Structure 1
Amino acid sequence: MSRRLSLLSTAVSIALATAPAWAQDAAAPDAATANPTNLDTLIVTGTRVSDRTVAESTAPIDIITPQTLEATGTVELATALSRALPSLNFPRPAITDATDAVRPAQLRGLAPDQVLVLVNGKRRHTTSLINLNDSIGRGSSPVDLNAIPIAAIERVEVLRDGASAQYGSDAIAGVVNVVLKGSGEGGSLAARYGQYSAGDGKQYQLSGDAGLKLGENGSLHLSAQGGHSDNTDRARPYLGTVTPTSNPPGKVVHRYGDPEIDQAALAYNAQWSPSEGVEFYSFGTASRRRAISNGYFRAPGNPNNIRSVYPDGFLPQIDNVSQDRAFVLGLRGQTAGGWNLDLSYNYGQNQLDFDVRNSLNRTLGAASPHDFYIGALEVTQNVLNADFNKSFDVGWLKYPLTVAFGSEWRGEKFNQSAGELASYVAGPEPGAPGAQVFPGFTPSDASRRNRNSHSFYADLEADVTDKLSLGAAARYERYSDFGETTSGKLSARYAFTDKVALRGTLSTGFRAPSLQQQFYQSTQTVIVLGDPTPFQVRTFAVDDPAAIALGAEPLKAEESTNIGLGLVLQPIESLYITVDAYQIDIDDRIILSENLRGPAVASFLEARGHRGITGGRYFTNAVDTRTRGIDIVGSYRWSLGAGALDLTAGYNRNKTTLERIAANPPELTAGGLNLQRIGRVEQGRITQGAPRDKFFLGGSWTTGPWRFDATTTRYGEFHTFNDDPSGIRDQTYRAKWTLDLAATYAIDGWEFTVGGDNVLNEYPDESIYANSESGQLPYSGNSPFGFNGAFAYAKVGYKW
């Protein structure tokens, strides 16, 4: 910590010695959108100044409008953001248990839980799920962006900069702030239908929103959307050697693709002012998603099948129901001393229920149930905030100094509930105990954990001259479970001319270990890439005696240092370009260890009472990483006769390297174990598992009642790794281009749209035979654009 504070101290001295700098009317965009007028949009993310615009921001910030979200052609917020932001990655993994239902997104190549999500500037709760299988985001419990209905969104502000000093834990990669519609008038209704060119994955959705007046001084905006998506399937027949335990040849028995989903979501946003200068506000969301995803097929001769029950084998399925609730109640006003005041209470809760269908518990014999209740996960967040800010005239400053300070108390809970007895019990028959594909949570797995934290922050911002703007922030935070941390941030912007400006930030940050990472525990059936043998792998809580015997230690917070430097250009009228380079160092990064498996591990665990468990894993602060990258975003408006063409381009390139790997615990080399806690698979996932670069070019041409949208995107290459040290099963997947098209006709408030995503029917490279389960699973779930092919849709909407 002393090293980081020294770094900030040095930077403060440099910043205060800097010569004057920038014009408030210098305009330059940071918005990944085709609408240049967004430069004048007032922002609420990354600043406490009440009249700061996008053009004046000292850090890169994107404004994503509802039009931009709708033009992506998707009904999922995370997918829409991934198509509008070059630095956001949202793959579509399959056969990854509940991760199929609650997919994670990552910003700037970092972990999904290293980006903070806000709604109307208030902290959003995370999902209760922890991603455990071989997907991007393994080991994380991020926010479920798709629980927020797109119909409710006024805009999304994406701060691409570290912001822990301003907002607390998780804001290492940046901040996504979803601003809800709040108007007391207007509204819309829309219906959408679509299907993949392969003939599956049918989707339909209804959505709408409406604003209402609450007397003379209030408003209420309501939004809702609901829909259904069929599953997709890109599995192929078994091509391997036929054995008594192999899958039947010439027949597709797996199901590999998107899950079947039913989802409904609601949102509201209300304000009421009983008198001048006093405003009560409240907003909230609620959603319910049911997702039916698929496991690995159990062949007729599989040792864990019972031929009299499933003579042709069986495909087990995981039935997840995710229920998400959130609301905020607050008061804004002004104190007698002229301080602006914001007091708020924030509640968030996510519950994820697990059921397994079409399965059995081999150890119960033919009497085993086929359907099981596996248990539930639940997280709850309660937050109290008190925020104050005021502008002061300071003699040596040309413009007022904004002073902000505040405090926050946050209480967090994590509950893990046991499943029914048959879902986990070890019966009298041989075989792996518990429901096949996902054994139930046992009573010893079940727990109720909680913690609280409190924090204090201070923030200063000022336009020192017509050219120079400076900012500084500091935050102290103390957690009841692991201790305290302090973060700081400095920012500056200097405008050389109206057409050229330079900006930079330097900050430290942190991310507290989640309760899920500390205390979640369960046993899962895991298929390792290229190895058809299923393993029963147990995720141990870090305080479990077996985990400690394997080298686990109490988790501590991740600590980061962020450096950003950006150039803002307006070389000609209507052309705006921003170039932002960054470096993010993360110490003590929390990751999930490798699947520690093998006969020696099985014997080790059985001796400690874990019958039938053939592998184990736990969370650890085992690595330090450095991520370096660059974001380039530009927009241009071109008048064409009776119409206009808006062009937007974005490019991100980043590289993550491992700066330190903690020494392997001696426990993993004792007693014949000979294991690596962080091996080549996890190292490769962190450094090369996601595309290193991404480029998109989008255009929107409006003429009369018509609007035509087109976006082409290039997703860079990515890699998968196997624990075979020879590397022969490692694979590089080449870069791919996709093209999205849409045409809209508008008349008298009505809009009619037909469109297609990935209209050229592009697929990622096929996996090599050794990584495809003998040809059955031909694509990698880490593909940044999925592997479903072309999708066509039609939409009709009405706005008033």
Structure 2
Amino acid sequence: MIKTLLKISLPIFFLIISSQLFAQSLQGKVSDSTGVAIPGASVQVVGQKIGTSTDGNGMYILKFPAAGTYKVRVTFTGYVNAEQEVAIENTVKTLDFSLSETKSDLGDVVVIGSRSTPRTNIESVVPVDLISSKDVKVFAQTDLTQILNFVAPSFSSNRQTVADGTDHIDPASLRGLGPDQVLVLVNGKRRHTTALVNINGTFGRGSVGTDLNSIPVSAIERIEVLRDGAAAQYGSDAIAGVINIVLKKVTPYSFSTSFGQSDSKALGREFSDGRTFQADFSKGWAFKNDKGFINLAAQYLQRDFTNRGGLDTRPLLYSASPTRGAAETEAAFQARFANLKAADDARASANGLDRNNMRVGNSDSKNGGAFLNGQFNFGKTTQLYYAAGFTHKTGSAAGFYRLPTQTTQIDLSIYPNGFLPLIDTKINDYSLSVGLRGKAGTWDYDLSNTSGENNIKFDINYTVNASLPTGTSPTSFYAGELVFRQNTTNFDINKKHIIDGGFLSSLNTAFGAEFRVDNYQIKEGELLSYANGGRLIGTSPTASGAQVFPGFKPGNALDQSRNNVGAYADFEAEFGPRVTLGAAGRYENYSDFGSNFSYKFTGKVKLIGDVALRGAYATGFRAPSLHQQYFNNESTQFVGTVATQVLTVNNSNPIVGQFGVGELKPEISKSGSIGLAGRIAKTFTFTVDAYNIDISDRIVFSSQYARERSGGVLVPTGVVNQILNTVDPTAQINSVQFFTNAITTNTAGIDVVLTNKFTLGAKSSLILSVAGNVNKTVVRSVQGSDRIESDPTLKAKLFDRLERSRFESSVPKNKLNITATYNVDKLSFVARTVRFGEVTYLNAIDPNIPANGLPTQLDQTFSPKWVSDFSVSYAASKVWSVTVGANNIFDIYPDKLYIDPRNNASNFNSSPTSNYSGGLDNTSNGRFLYPRAVSQFGFSGRYVYGKISCTF
């Protein structure tokens, strides 16, 4: 705390001292063309390390070391820069600036989506959202994925729970598509993906995304979200669109810190968990004589876990349910069961075994990182630029509780009451981008190299290897490491031809080439994390490896690389002031699967005034990731309430060959969009864009092919049994899964963004925005190999109902965001409400097929919900501001999971012989109260917070 106070107080102290040393000063106000103050505008002295930003009233003050003539430059995103020379003497001089707005009322200037002149978002040929640094930091969400989930209607992401590594890296969706179908750029350069492939039962299962939370929010100037297929322009993955994160440049000193926690009431209980502390810093320095800049930003975020789990409804915790004897009456059996349960409950109470034995919610997390962004100018036309980042993140997430009755997964001599195993991760993320851009004759060139790495180490704690001799198992294991590295070299040239007279008024021509190398590694864990010690319970073998996450074996370890070479051409022509047409083509050749050519056509026609019709048609592709091609492991997953040893094999494994599945090939897309965008009455802007995306050969992670059983006995002639016996004749592996190009999908939707700015007085304004998205994804066909197609059982399990729901209905089908920002004098009020549309969970078991002699009732649709946030900020001075607020202020939760009335605790207690669970309960015996297989908006409830910011 003392160090933090010193970091904040010392710069302020020196600022006060400097104000006494330098009598020469310039002060004034920065406002827009209507006279409304502009807070946060940058005021810099050209060629000097002198600069500041305006306070909440648009006021600024600059101190000069000596008298003289200086050039002062004022900039603010969305407004035309203003410069003026001023003579500074030994006095206090006043100079006001009035900035002219660009054609968009909020000036959403973007560079993504076109290699021509940057445009405002309503002038762009394709739909682009701009999210400013103020939008990013105005509410209490501290993770970038959570911020975008509430700000961008076409973006969806939620934290996952009880999902191994996915608890620590949030899968995200743009326009309802997968995490790996959106390309992420930083300063326009490709960002590497994570080392993690999602293999558990969450949205995005089988995909590999980018960890957006590895980029400190304090480093971000703005985020550009291109909602249109762009593989022809930027390469693989850009099927749904592109997210470009632009880093800060020259900025004042900025510190902020916040603290908050859940203040929620649900299920008749009060929750005050999830305490979150955040601190960040940023500062950008300009070099003398316009030689460039350097910006440093850092952030530390600590978040405690939340738990919204329910009570375990299983009647007996320490002993298995009895079976009724042949000569035993029902009454006698019920009495015996009642006595057993009473004794069991008494033992649990005496030993402190709580039926709320899970941790269902956000994981523990500590996240610290920094980003450096800079540029050095050689003369007026050549710049050396660079960006470097590092993030270290640790997390702790729980698995399923192991009860004393689960004897093949536990060592009672170590954990007589069972245990809750934890998956602890250490995630390191590195990136470095260096480039040189300038002019060669009449052409602009850009030569760059970008490297990135993401590695994840797994430590499993509070667990055992149940197969080791009784009492000898460690309780902590190192389970191995995943590593992904990427290096991308780009060369781009660009030229805009201005043509006087004639039908064509300008032509922008761009060419480029790219060489990329990917590397993926799996490193084995320690021996006991995966070994089988041979211990038996009676005649039953015990589970190998660390419970909840067996370590990677030597046979899993690998080090695989590939490279690809790409080249593109991009043309954009303006035919007078009203018509713009564009075309792009890109060829890429991969060393592992071959080549692909993508193309894109765009067009925009101004209809009336600033209202334009725009549209695009594009083909695209997504190369299968190295993770999908090579990942393999053995894991413990729960199917219903049954612990299952699941074998994941890659496509080079002979097991996959026995299913007739070949090597992975790229996904291919065709997409089209059409929309209207414009400005009316100077302050009202709107964009309305409809889209349609067809994807063939889409890669899926198959459903689990489980061993066939009859009456609990393995069926020797079963197809899956015969296949698995080739690698596991002792039948410890319960099921197998793999990646394959299996489905064709169609996604269609519409995005609407409306914004208006109201000037209410000299010191007050209101900005109102409404943004919405409606989308629907349909799986049009499922196609397996010839072997799978010829066997109805294999075909049904390739892509079952549950896997279909992950694609069609696991993210909201619609989302509506209404935000109002009211500024008056030193106060700022921000209110936001977001309507998250319905999601639907489909159980793998077809409800039309009875199970255990009874029809299942497990499919469930979760109704739309409104989640509202509110904050108020007070600018105590031009340096300090204070914010208090609440997210989810009305404490809204999703619908509870449906519990079949025949499958609850009272039925267990009164009639144990009719125990009908068998994995047919979505709540996993009452422990999950809210949905985790589908994503809506999470289930942590109300969150209250306070924040202090310092800018000078």
Superposition TM-score, scaled by structure 2 size:
0.78
Q: 1:190 to 1:707 in 2, by over 3 A?
A: same
* 1: CA distance, partners of 2:518 / 2:570: 26
* 1: CA distance, partners of 2:282 / 2:320: 54
Match of residue 472, structure 1, among 560, 567, 583 = 583
2:285 pairs with 1:212: yes
Q: 1:610 to 1:622 in 2, by over 3 A?
A: farther
Report the Cα offset of residue 72 of structure 1.
Answer: 3.0
* 2: CA distance, partners of 1:318 / 1:668: 38
Residue 222 (structure 1) aligns with: 296
Whether the 8 Å CA contact 2:123–2:677 is kept in 1: the answer is no
Report the Cα offset of residue 470 of structure 1.
Answer: 0.7
* 2: CA distance, partners of 1:568 / 1:631: 11
* 2: CA distance, partners of 1:732 / 1:407: 47
Whether the 8 Å CA contact 2:431–2:453 is kept in 1: the answer is yes
Structure possessing the higher relative contact order (Cα contacts under 8 Å, 6 or more residues apart) = 1
Show CA shifts across 1:698-747 (max 9, x none). 10100000000000111011011211112621111111111100000012
Q: 1:665 to 1:375 in 2, by over 3 A?
A: farther
2:750 pairs with 1:630: yes
Range that drifts further, 773-782 or 695-704: 773-782
Report the Cα offset of residue 598 of structure 1.
Answer: 3.0
Q: 1:762 to 1:602 in 2, by over 3 A?
A: farther
2:941 pairs with 1:785: no
Q: 1:597 to 1:223 in 2, by over 3 A?
A: same
Residue 203 (structure 1) aligns with: 276
Report the Cα offset of residue 571 of structure 1.
Answer: 3.8
Match of residue 252, structure 1, among 352, 356, 360 = 356
Aligned-partner residue type, residue 659 of structure 1: R
Q: 1:570 to 1:100 in 2, by over 3 A?
A: same
Look up the SS of the partner of 1:165 in the other structure: helix
2:672 pairs with 1:566: no
Look up the SS of the partner of 1:69 in the other structure: helix
2:462 pairs with 1:373: no
Residue 410 (structure 1) aligns with: 516
Show CA shifts across 1:19-58 (max 9, x none). xxxxxxxx9xxxxxx9995654442211111343323200
* 1: CA distance, partners of 2:494 / 2:378: 22
Residue 772 (structure 2) aligns with: 651
Residue 697 (structure 2) aligns with: 588
Show CA shifts across 1:213-260 (max 9, x none). 344302100000002110000112112343624897862111111000
* 2: CA distance, partners of 1:417 / 1:330: 33
In our comparison, the structure showing a higher alpha carbon Rg is 2
Whether the 8 Å CA contact 1:165–1:487 is kept in 2: the answer is yes
2:607 pairs with 1:607: no
Match of residue 170, structure 1, among 232, 237, 246 = 237
Superposition TM-score, scaled by structure 1 size:
0.93
Match of residue 888, structure 2, among 755, 758, 762 = 758
Match of residue 312, structure 2, among 217, 232, 238 = 238
Whether the 8 Å CA contact 2:492–2:510 is kept in 1: the answer is yes
* 2: CA distance, partners of 1:357 / 1:510: 41
Report the Cα offset of residue 71 of structure 1.
Answer: 1.8
Look up the SS of the partner of 1:98 in the other structure: helix
Report the Cα offset of residue 448 of structure 1.
Answer: 0.4
Aligned-partner residue type, residue 253 of structure 2: G
Report the Cα offset of residue 352 of structure 1.
Answer: 0.6
Residue 149 (structure 2) aligns with: 82
* 1: CA distance, partners of 2:118 / 2:696: 36
* 2: CA distance, partners of 1:704 / 1:446: 62
Residue 333 (structure 1) aligns with: 438
Look up the SS of the partner of 1:290 in the other structure: strand
Whether the 8 Å CA contact 1:517–1:619 is kept in 2: the answer is yes
Whether the 8 Å CA contact 1:39–1:55 is kept in 2: the answer is no
* 1: CA distance, partners of 2:530 / 2:939: 34
Match of residue 574, structure 2, among 463, 466, 489 = 463
Residue 272 (structure 1) aligns with: 376
Aligned-partner residue type, residue 517 of structure 2: G
Residue 873 (structure 2) aligns with: 744
Look up the SS of the partner of 2:293 in the other structure: strand
1:113-192 correspondence runs (5 A)? 113-183=180-250, 185-192=251-258
Range that drifts further, 660-669 or 432-441: 660-669
Aligned-partner residue type, residue 378 of structure 1: V
Residue 83 (structure 2) aligns with: none
2:260 pairs with 1:194: yes
Residue 737 (structure 2) aligns with: 617
Residue 845 (structure 2) aligns with: 724
* 1: CA distance, partners of 2:690 / 2:795: 42
Show CA shifts across 1:559-599 (max 9, x none). 00110001114343311111100000001001100011134
Match of residue 706, structure 2, among 597, 610, 617 = 597
Match of residue 312, structure 1, among 417, 423, 441 = 417
Report the Cα offset of residue 776 of structure 1.
Answer: 1.2
Whether the 8 Å CA contact 1:87–1:108 is kept in 2: the answer is yes
Residue 70 (structure 2) aligns with: none
Q: 1:37 to 1:58 in 2, by over 3 A?
A: closer
Aligned-partner residue type, residue 196 of structure 2: L
2:175 pairs with 1:108: yes
Residue 17 (structure 1) aligns with: none
* 1: CA distance, partners of 2:137 / 2:795: 53
Report the Cα offset of residue 274 of structure 1.
Answer: 2.3
Whether the 8 Å CA contact 1:564–1:581 is kept in 2: the answer is yes
Look up the SS of the partner of 1:517 in the other structure: helix
Report the Cα offset of residue 603 of structure 1.
Answer: 5.8
Q: 1:187 to 1:483 in 2, by over 3 A?
A: same
Task: Show structure 2 runs of 5+ residues with no match.
Answer: 1-77, 79-100, 264-270, 322-343, 349-353, 536-540, 709-717, 848-855, 900-920
Aligned-partner residue type, residue 615 of structure 2: G
Look up the SS of the partner of 1:363 in the other structure: coil
Look up the SS of the partner of 1:207 in the other structure: strand
Q: CA RMSD in A?
A: 2.0
Look up the SS of the partner of 1:666 in the other structure: helix
Report the Cα offset of residue 610 of structure 1.
Answer: 6.6
* 2: CA distance, partners of 1:390 / 1:97: 49
Aligned-partner residue type, residue 857 of structure 2: I
Whether the 8 Å CA contact 2:564–2:588 is kept in 1: the answer is yes
Whether the 8 Å CA contact 2:874–2:883 is kept in 1: the answer is yes
Aligned-partner residue type, residue 239 of structure 1: T
Look up the SS of the partner of 1:99 in the other structure: helix
Range that drifts further, 61-70 or 664-673: 664-673
Aligned-partner residue type, residue 338 of structure 1: T
Look up the SS of the partner of 1:518 in the other structure: helix
Whether the 8 Å CA contact 1:669–1:675 is kept in 2: the answer is no
Aligned-partner residue type, residue 518 of structure 2: E
* 1: CA distance, partners of 2:401 / 2:837: 32
* 2: CA distance, partners of 1:113 / 1:650: 24
Whether the 8 Å CA contact 2:122–2:686 is kept in 1: the answer is no
* 1: CA distance, partners of 2:744 / 2:859: 24
Report the Cα offset of residue 506 of structure 1.
Answer: 0.5
Look up the SS of the partner of 2:260 in the other structure: strand
* 2: CA distance, partners of 1:463 / 1:538: 56
* 2: CA distance, partners of 1:473 / 1:396: 24
* 2: CA distance, partners of 1:632 / 1:467: 23
Q: 1:656 to 1:610 in 2, by over 3 A?
A: farther
Residue 679 (structure 1) aligns with: 800
Aligned-partner residue type, residue 112 of structure 1: P
2:468 pairs with 1:364: yes
Whether the 8 Å CA contact 2:122–2:677 is kept in 1: the answer is no
Aligned-partner residue type, residue 603 of structure 2: A
Show CA shifts across 1:144-192 (max 9, x none). 0000000000000000000000000000000000000011x51200111
Match of residue 946, structure 2, among 782, 785, 794 = 794
* 2: CA distance, partners of 1:386 / 1:38: 35
